[in-house]
């Protein structure tokens, strides 16, 4: 079983070297923990898919530290440049067309014409990326379809046998994955996955309306973003959303005031959506463990569908979807 290592200089240097050798290293970002590998190394990128049990048609996000790298790997039109200038570094991934002669493994794009790029803000992500000195492909560090990790311990539980190193950075501050925004030439800007970056802020910045693609399939039934398969983020026990009154066989994930006698955790007693996002995955992990032991299922309180609540509801509806 892999060790969890403190994010000190020596360990980060080792982690950087390990990535350059083609190993898998899990590390914190401000959203969730990522499972990183050298994005220019086909074999290393393939090992991400193997460790996660991820379908090979689901492309990966490549993590970078500079705009120079972004422009080397992808084609940025004015809209993409504006978004990058406003929201990077931060919890946003941009889907852009791969550049001609893009040095990234084609496997990060699942063989397609586009690539997802993200410049994270978390100081430990940035130090790791600098130590690696290569672009780092990193999906969330959980087995495919499972609950995303916001603590190093979650990574160890889910993937501990299959990875080389876990760098510990404590709990992730945003708590839900990056907003995924597609900015492909001659196409409207689309939000493929909601995150903490508000769609209204994106529309105001670009001066156009932006479509939120809710389903995994476009009108012609082609997968737009294969990671948006309906069942995802799923606990092992069943989960129901939008429950105002849990029944006695349900452990409750509350939001705001909670007067029920059920075993419960509260996303935010003060009904603060940012706090709820921070707590979401850790509480789902804990309730899943509790319910497996006690033979119950999970009920989740209604969450207001605004700001980061849109991202929370997106994850919860996928967690509730039939597998």
Which residues of this chain interact with Mg ion, rule CB under 5 A?
140
Ranked by CB distance to ligand TXA, the top (closest) residue is 227
Number of chain positions touching ligand TXA (CB under 6 A): 28
Nearest to Mg ion of 105, 140 (CB atom) = 140
Nearest to ligand TXA of 181, 303 (CB atom) = 181
Longest dimension (CA), the chain: 61
Nearest to Mg ion of 197, 254 (CB atom) = 197
Nearest to Mg ion of 12, 26 (CB atom) = 26
Contact status: 173 vs ligand TXA (CB under 6 A): no
Residue 100 backbone zone (phi > 0: left; psi -120 to 50: alpha; other: beta): beta
Residue 105: C-alpha distances to residues 101, 102, 221 (Å): 11, 8, 27
Subset of 224-253 contacting ligand TXA (CB under 6 A): 225-228
Residue 138 interacting partner from Mg ion, ligand TXA, none (CB closer than 5 to 8 Å by kind): ligand TXA
Q: How far is the CB of 37 from ligand TXA (least distance, A)?
A: 12
Nearest to ligand TXA of 128, 296 (CB atom) = 128
- x-or-dash pattern for ligand TXA, window 71-110, by CB under 6 A? ----------------------x-x-------------x-
Q: What are phi and psi of 34, to 5 degrees?
A: -110, 155
Write the secondary structure of 1-54 as one string of H (helix), E (strand) and C (coil).
Answer: CCCEEECCHHHHHHHHHHHHHCCCEEEECCCCEEEEEECCCHHHHHHHHHHHCC
d(CA 227, CA 55): 9
Residue 143 backbone zone (phi > 0: left; psi -120 to 50: alpha; other: beta): beta
DSSP string, 207-262: TS--EE--SSB-TT--BSSGGG-SS-S--SS-EE-S-SS--TTEEEEE-S-----S
Q: How far is the CB of 98 from ligand TXA (least distance, A)?
A: 9
Nearest to ligand TXA of 183, 301 (CB atom) = 183
Residue 188: C-alpha distances to residues 170, 180, 184, 213 (Å): 38, 14, 8, 11
DSSP string, 161-211: TT-SEEEE--S-SS-SPPEEEE--TTS--EEEE--SS-HHHHHHHHTS--E
Contact status: 180 vs ligand TXA (CB under 6 A): yes
Contact status: 139 vs ligand TXA (CB under 6 A): yes
Nearest to ligand TXA of 49, 252 (CB atom) = 49
Q: How far is the CB of 293 from ligand TXA (least distance, A)?
A: 27
For 70, the enclosing helix (H) or strand (E) is helix 67-73
Contact status: 192 vs ligand TXA (CB under 6 A): yes
Subset of 11-50 contacting ligand TXA (CB under 6 A): 29, 31-32, 34
- x-or-dash pattern for ligand TXA, window 57-76, by CB under 6 A? -xxxx---------------
Report the interface residues with ligand TXA, using CB under 6 A.
Answer: 29, 31-32, 34, 58-61, 93, 95, 109, 112, 114-116, 118, 138-140, 177-178, 180, 192-193, 225-228
């Amino acid at each position: 079983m892999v060790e969890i290592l403190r994010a000190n200089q020596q360990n980060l240097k080792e982690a950087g070297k390990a990535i350059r050798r083609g190993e898998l290293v899990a590390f914190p970002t401000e959203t969730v923990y990522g499972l990183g590998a050298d994005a220019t190394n086909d074999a290393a990128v393939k090992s991400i898919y193997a460790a996660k049990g991820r379908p090979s048609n689901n492309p990966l996000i490549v993590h970078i530290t500079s705009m120079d790298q972004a422009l080397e790997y992808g084609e940025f039109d004015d809209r993409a440049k504006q978004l990058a200038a406003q929201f990077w570094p931060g919890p946003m991934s941009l889907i852009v067309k791969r550049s001609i002669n893009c040095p990234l493994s084609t496997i990060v794009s699942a063989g397609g014409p586009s690539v997802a790029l993200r410049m994270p803000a978390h100081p430990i992500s940035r130090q790791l990326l600098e130590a690696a000195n290569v672009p780092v492909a990193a999906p969330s560090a959980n087995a495919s379809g499972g609950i995303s990790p916001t603590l190093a311990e979650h990574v160890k539980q889910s993937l501990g046998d299959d990875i080389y190193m876990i760098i510990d950075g404590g709990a992730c501050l945003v708590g839900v994955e990056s907003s995924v925004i597609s900015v492909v030439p001659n196409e409207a800007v689309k939000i493929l996955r909601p995150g903490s970056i508000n769609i209204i802020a994106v529309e105001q910045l670009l001066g156009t309306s932006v479509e939120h693609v809710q389903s995994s399939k476009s009108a012609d039934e082609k997968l737009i973003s294969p990671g948006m398969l309906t069942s995802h983020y799923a606990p092992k026990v069943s989960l129901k959303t939008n429950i105002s009154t849990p029944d006695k066989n349900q452990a409750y994930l509350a939001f705001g005031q909670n007067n029920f006698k059920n075993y419960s955790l509260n996303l935010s007693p003060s009904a603060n959506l940012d706090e709820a996002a921070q707590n979401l995955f850790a509480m789902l992990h804990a309730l899943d463990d509790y319910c497996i032991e006690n033979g119950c299922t999970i009920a989740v309180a209604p969450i207001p569908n605004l700001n980061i609540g849109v991202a929370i509801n997106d994850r919860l509806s996928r967690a509730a979807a039939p597998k």
